[in-house]
Amino acid sequence: MQQACSVQLCRPSRSRRQESLPKSVGSLATGRPGYLWGSQGLSGLKCMVLCCQLPQSASAVHLQEEDKYSCIDHSASYLHVQSVRSFPIEKFYGELVLVRLDSEILCDPLGPFNLSLRRTLSTIKYLYKAGAKVLLITSWVPVLQSFNPVLKSTESFADYLSSLLQVKVVPVNGVPDLTSFNPERWMQNDIILFENLLNFKGENTNCNIFSQKLASGAAIFVNDSFSLSHKMLASTVGITRFCHASLAGFHLEEELMQLRKITDTTRRPYIAIIGGSNFLRKAPALELLASLCDGLFFLGKLSFQIMNALGIPVPSCFVEKNATKEVLQLIQIAHSRNIPIYYPTDVRCLYNKNNNNENPETLESAELLSGCTPDDIGPSTLEKISSLIPLYKKILWIGPTGYDLTEEFSVGATQLGSILYKAIHNSCDVIVVGSAACKAVKGVPESSSKYTTFKNVSVVWEFLKGRILPGIAALDKSYPYQIPWNAVFSDPTQPLVVDIGSGNGLFLFQMARKNWEGSNFLGLEMNEKLVTRCLQDVASVDKRNLYFVSTNATSTFRSIVSSYPGHLTLVTIQCPNPDFNKERNRWRMVRRMLVEAIVDLLQTNGKVYLQSDVESVLRGMKEQFMTYGKGRLVVDGGQMENPFGVASDWERHVLARGAPMYRTMLRKV
């Protein structure tokens, strides 16, 4: 009898949702919890006892309880960034805007039929038509210059971009530095293209000096290179420290939206088909998929690790001996969630890899010999996948199906691509990750809402591992939720008072208790624990004119407050940390982006109240507001007493020790 190459890791009881999931053929049953038994007699299995002994926390680590406070800004929200689309278009006019491009997209052989290319070109055209002075930076591996004439020189690349954009693109060689650039060479309607960034050591080392030169003169940075998101480069990370706004282009914005689909479990059942090698390095990502998906199908060298852990004979040369613990932990997570794990039933093997004329021999997975070289998945495995796919509504395919990672083409991958092509036409959501996998699924329009592709597999693996993508984290943030103002406030048309850096909320609680000028009160605070405590206190006293949000208001103020139905009448910034406001700090609180957002949203005669116990901090904040307010603010009071009759917690502390407080009030005209 052929061995059934799947395992159902069961618990005594099943939920109604789990009953609807596909059952694996020839599944293994449980005699006692943690012990796996099958028709082939796996009583000598090492992992039987080990699985039983794994701590329960291993499976619980990804099954976190939902936070009852939905407006808390969690770590995954770093993917929600400010974009060119959401940034006020009028603020691009006359500004120097530096755009980081992906040369692979620009040189794609599909040309204008490439949806990613069209989005990238749209970013450039949008900025250009908005009146921005556009500077383009990108990079390409020098070896490609011999294969692609477009990349032969900066001049040839500029000519190519000119033909795509129908706008003159001027090439500039040498270290990208606008301070040494002759403005007369910059015609009024031209776009500038700088030299290949890989020609400079400072790019890959994220050199601070190189980053500063790169950004010199540019007010706004736009990143439209998703494929480099996992790298820390001067042109994607370091540069953001020297630009007042750092935004995502249309292409990057779309890719981030698609990336979030991988962890979205709205469409179920959801299966992941996972290929490749190096189980140990991918373990955190595989555990996440085990906690999200309703089935896992392992291919390639990863499947050998699962087979070995389940007691199926595998030649020792195929086993990652240092990954045993991680494999067992994955099995424990699958066991706790009662989801099936599948692996190949047969493998196409070669006995002389150097003989190109040798016909592969198909062997059952349990009959692999140490002298053979696995080449690809066999027909029985493809038949198994084909029978499983219709049972799922969402499919993720990540990693190669073959065992030789140096070969991009695989018969198995091509046939799997055909299977997934049919699934897409049967209204199944399909996500394909990896260059080879994307080529295997042919004939599906890129615009199909059921089909998502990521050619760069490294970015997706890093995301699934839970690691921060540096190129994304460096961009300005957008608040990821729409605040339900009607549910938060009893009357959302009342005037709004916003306290930035609200801390423990004492100031706003007292203002709300006094019902100061019949207003609603909103506290914006980065410290999530303080916000949670404030929200609990609001709920306990049933205040319907007071609310708190955990966020970095420096970049999210506009996206939060712009949707408020009423008028913004007062913004307060009280006693920010002096170190937090030094000019060298990229994330200082009072930056141009925040000032412009406040002034834009503030109603006429609305006020900004600034206060600090450090005179230089107050002076710095005031200068920022007067400079970037661009004549729309006037001083309405200086060297004043507290105008509200309500003191913040820190203000009380300062006054109690006899120290002075420095205050000023600004008014919008």
Tell me the pLDDT tens digit for each residue of 137-159: 999 887 676 677 788 889 999 99
The per-residue pLDDT for 64 is 34
In a domain, 511, yes or no: yes
Contact 367, 42 (CB under 8 A): no
Structure tokens belonging to residue 528:
């999530």
Instruction: Pick the range with the lowest mean pLDDT from 239-253, 361-375, 557-571.
Output: 361-375
DSSP of 524-578, one letter per residue? EES-HHHHHHHHHHHHHHT-SSEEEEES-HHHHHHHHHTT-SS-EEEEEEE---G
Q: Do 171 and 313 share a structural domain? A: no
Instruction: Pick the range with the lowest mean pLDDT from 263-272, 331-340, 396-405.
Output: 396-405
- Helix (H), strand (E), coil (C) string for 105-159: HHCCCCHHHCHHHHHHHHHHHHHHHCCCEEEEECCCCHHHHHCCHHHCCHHHHHH
Residue 65 has pLDDT above 80, yes or no: no
Q: Do 415 and 267 share a structural domain? A: yes
Domain ranges, residue 444: 6-61+262-351+359-466
Q: Do 285 and 419 share a structural domain? A: yes
In a domain, 75, yes or no: no
In a domain, 403, yes or no: yes
Q: Do 269 and 242 share a structural domain? A: no
Q: How many domains does the chain have?
A: 3
Structure tokens belonging to residue 191:
């776009």
DSSP of 208-248, one letter per residue? HHHHHHHHTT-SEEEE--GGGTTS--TTTTGGGGGSSEEEE
Q: What is the DSSP letter of 480?
A: -
What is the C-alpha separation between 502 and 349, in angstroms, rounded?
Answer: 65
What is the C-alpha separation between 137 and 97, in angstroms, rounded?
Answer: 11
Contact 273, 396 (CB under 8 A): yes
Residue 573 has pLDDT above 50, yes or no: yes
Q: Do 423 and 399 share a structural domain? A: yes
What is the C-alpha separation between 339 and 59, in angstroms, rounded?
Answer: 12
Tell me the pLDDT tens digit for each residue of 97-139: 999 999 988 887 665 558 889 999 999 999 999 999 999 999 9
User: Domain boundary residue among 248, 273, 307?
Assistant: 248
pLDDT tier, 69 (very low <50, low <70, confident <90, very high otherwise): very low
Give the residue-averaged pLDDT of 270-285.
Answer: 95
The per-residue pLDDT for 582 is 52
What is the C-alpha separation between 64 and 62, in angstroms, rounded?
Answer: 6
Reduced to 3 states, what is the DSSP secondary structure of residue 172?
strand
Angle of helix 279-292 relative to helix 300-309, nearest 10 degrees? 80
Q: Do 89 and 44 share a structural domain? A: no
What is the C-alpha separation between 382 and 418, in angstroms, rounded?
Answer: 11
Q: Do 510 and 455 share a structural domain? A: no
Which CATH number fits the domain that encloses residue 511? 3.40.50.150
User: Domain boundary residue among 220, 248, 276?
Assistant: 248
Q: Do 630 and 583 share a structural domain? A: yes
In a domain, 471, yes or no: no
Reduced to 3 states, what is the DSSP secondary structure of residue 360?
coil
In a domain, 480, yes or no: no
Residue 318 vs residues 5, 185, 278, 403: alpha-carbon distances, Å: 18, 61, 11, 10
What is the C-alpha separation between 466 and 476, in angstroms, rounded?
Answer: 20
Residue 640 has pLDDT above 90, yes or no: no
Antiparallel, parallel or unpaired: β 662-668 and 633-638 = antiparallel
Contact 39, 19 (CB under 8 A): no
In a domain, 257, yes or no: no
Tell me the pLDDT tens digit for each residue of 207-221: 999 999 999 889 999
Q: Do 95 and 53 share a structural domain? A: no
Reduced to 3 states, what is the DSSP secondary structure of residue 151?
helix
Kindly provide the b/e burial profile for residues 435-460, where b requires at least 16 CB atoms within 10 angstroms of the residue's own CB. Answer: ebbbbbbeebeeeeebbbbbbbbebb
* Residues forming beta bridges with residue 573, ordered by sequence position: 500, 610
What is the C-alpha separation between 65 and 83, in angstroms, rounded?
Answer: 31
Residue 58 has pLDDT above 60, yes or no: no
Instruction: Pick the range with the lowest mean pLDDT from 140-149, 167-176, 510-519.
Output: 140-149
Q: Do 318 and 443 share a structural domain? A: yes
Q: Do 462 and 491 share a structural domain? A: no
Structure tokens belonging to residue 533:
């405590």
Residue 73 has pLDDT above 50, yes or no: no
Give the residue-averaged pLDDT of 502-513.
Answer: 94
Tell me the pLDDT tens digit for each residue of 448-492: 778 899 989 999 999 999 999 999 999 999 998 889 999 999 999
Q: Do 268 and 238 share a structural domain? A: no
Q: Which amino acid is at 527?
A: N
Instruction: Pick the range with the lowest mean pLDDT from 90-94, 538-542, 568-572.
Output: 538-542
In a domain, 538, yes or no: yes
In a domain, 382, yes or no: yes
Which CATH number fits the domain that encloses residue 449? 3.40.50.1260
Q: Which residues contact 514 (CB under 8 A, 6 or more apart)?
A: 645, 646
Residue for token digits 């059942």?
Answer: 269
